[in-house]
Amino acid sequence: MGVEVIYSDDDIVVINKPPGISAHGGEAVRGPTVADFLLEKFPEIKDVGDPSTGSEQVNLRPGIVHRLDKNTSGVMVAARNQKSFLALKEMFQNRRVEKIYWAIACGKFKEREGVINLPIGRLINDPRKRGVDITGRERRKIRGEREAMTEFKVLRQGEVFALVEVRPKTGRMHQIRVHLSAIHHPVACDTVYGGKKVCCPSKTGRQLLHAASLVFSYPEGRKLNFEANPPEDFTLAAEAIL
């Protein structure tokens, strides 16, 4: 499966998720998942999580407190017992986890850093996707808008691509992909939010987005910082930027 364990103790396990693997199962999910890997390596987590995440027979999200998109790689943390699950869930919900992503984005940025503060809602004509109301005239296209804020800093850029450090301050679905697309710098190879002709430096077949690090305290007062190296497709794309 290619999942790498970065760290584990009695309370948590931290992994580097490769692209192409879903966090957990569901009606539309095919193939092995991170949840499958965790259950195999840490079988005690089978009953860890919210009762609402599965049926009486199956817990679809054992130990999982946050997710990465199927084709996004990088750091994920999971809980090995109910106490740590509840504590981690509370930290993510109350924005006490620092998340840093790297993205290969399209185009040349005029501003080397900035903040994208645009509410994100569900597209009415395609509930699987998310969108923003940039002009104030698109209320009929999205619904259920919620506050969303993303900080970004350009680390390196050429004429066509840029390597960008991204820090989401909220945790909306597809937030980074939606926000970068909204400022006309979609994540490279992201055909969902960048369109069929989105820039793409390789034939990777997935958006070039990587969860580089997570920082949080658990237990309280013990600061933990976990980092994950990006996969080869991302590294090669980043090295190609002048």
Fold entry, domain 98-212+228-242: Pseudouridine synthase (3.30.2350)
Residues annotated as part of the active site: 69
Architecture label for domain 1-94? 2-Layer Sandwich (3.30)
Higher-pLDDT residue of 235, 220: 235
pLDDT at residue 135 greater than cutoff 60: no
pLDDT tens per residue across span 184-195: 999 999 999 999
pLDDT tens per residue across span 40-65: 999 999 999 986 544 444 577 899 99
Domain ranges of the chain: 1-94, 98-212+228-242
Whether a cis peptide bond, with omega within 30° of 0, leads into 219 is yes
3-state secondary structure (DSSP) of residue 34: helix
Q: Are 22 and 29 in contact (CB under 8 A)?
A: yes
In whole angstroms, give the CA distance from residue 99 to residue 213: 6
